[in-house]
Structure 1
Amino acid sequence: MRLLSILILLAGAWLVPPVAAQSSIDVYEFDSPAQEAVFRELTRELRCPKCQNQDISDSNAELAKDLRDKTYEMLREGNSKQEVIDFMVARYGNFILYKPPLMASTVILWAGPVLVILLGLVVILVRTRRTRRNDGDELSTEEKKRLADLLNKDKES
């Protein structure tokens, strides 16, 4: 009986995950629901610089946690949404925004897909016109003579 209770205790200890493996949940307390709504919007609009394809609300990276904490701290100090965004852009650049503003440095992000599609259409049009022209080419005089000779040989046989 004593051996059974020791085995159960060991099995239970083996099944419990280590403390480092347990994830922590960030709990933020806000002065008003409006402040919490601004926090939620900001954490969805700001991209995690480490993860690159996740917003800071979804990322588990330490940097994302630091950015969430800094956003919370700035909102608690009374900074507006735009002030928080300006701070993050000044620190991490426009890459931190999921929707970067239209500027000379980001114009390729906005115009790139349209330019690629237009370039593809131009290539398709040029290739189809080229093949149409080649299909309608007339035979040279030498080719006509050779064709006539072949047809005459066929008639004679």
Structure 2
Amino acid sequence: MRRAALLALLLCAAPAAADSGLPPAALAYTQLPDAAQEAKAKALMETVRCVVCQGQSIADSDADMAGDMRAMIRQRIAAGETPAQIRKWLIARYGDYITYDPPLSAVTLPLWLAPLVLLGLGAWIARASFRRRRRRTNE
């Protein structure tokens, strides 16, 4: 019983230990002076998944890692890189998981096919249910 309580306590404390306590990166919460560059950076940040939170984009996350990634994106945009170049670099570094729109490949094929398979399965179950109801009504 004590082990289970200790394990539950440790699991609850894990998110709190994820932040380092260091000050945020220079451009983590500061916008770029050029509004067009900031718009490009923001648009890219909304399509990049936080590697710590995983359910949020780095634009929405308060995790230290997300702040570092926001700062890096702003620095690279200010240096003249395009969002496509930065996105390509992020995917090369963190993998396809970093993006909310993974490219179609052998690895991501189940992600693309699962909704279609589930939709087809739901339609098949609904059709079978309606047929059974119709048979009961006609009897």
Alignment TM-score > 0.5, same fold: yes
Moved more, 94-103 or 48-57: 94-103
> Which of 30, 33, 41 does residue 39 from structure 1 map onto?
41
Q: CA RMSD in A?
A: 2.7
Which AA in structure 2 matches 1:120? G
- Bigger helix fraction: 1
Matching residue's letter, 1:29: L
Q: 1:78 aligns with which of 67, 77, 80?
A: 80
Q: Distance in 2 between matches of 1:73 and 1:44?
A: 16
Structure 1 pair 73/129, CA: closer, same or farther in 2 (3 Å)? same
**Aligned AA for 2:30?**
V
2:108 corresponds in structure 1 to 106
Q: Please give the alpha-carbon distance, in whole angstroms, between the structure 2 residues aligned to 1:127 and 1:44.
A: 42
Please tell me the residue identity of whatever aligns with 1:55: S
Counterpart of 1:155 in structure 2 is: none
Identity %: 33
The equivalences for 1:3-42 within 5 A come to 26-30=29-33, 32-42=34-44
Q: Give the 3-state SS of the residue equivalent to 1:45 in structure 2.
A: coil
Give the TM-score normalised by structure 2.
Answer: 0.67
Shift of 1:64: 0.3
Higher relative contact order (CA 8 A, sep 6+): 2
- AA aligned to 1:67 is M
Q: Look up the match of 2:67.
A: 65
Aligned length: 113
2:5 equivalent in structure 1? none
The one-letter code matched in structure 2 to 1:47 is R
Unaligned runs of 5+ in 2: 1-20
Larger Rg: 1
TM-score, normalisation: structure 1: 0.60
Partners of 2:48 and 2:77 in 1: how far apart? 15
Gaps in structure 1 of 5+ consecutive residues = 1-19, 137-157
Counterpart of 1:115 in 2: which secondary structure? Answer: helix
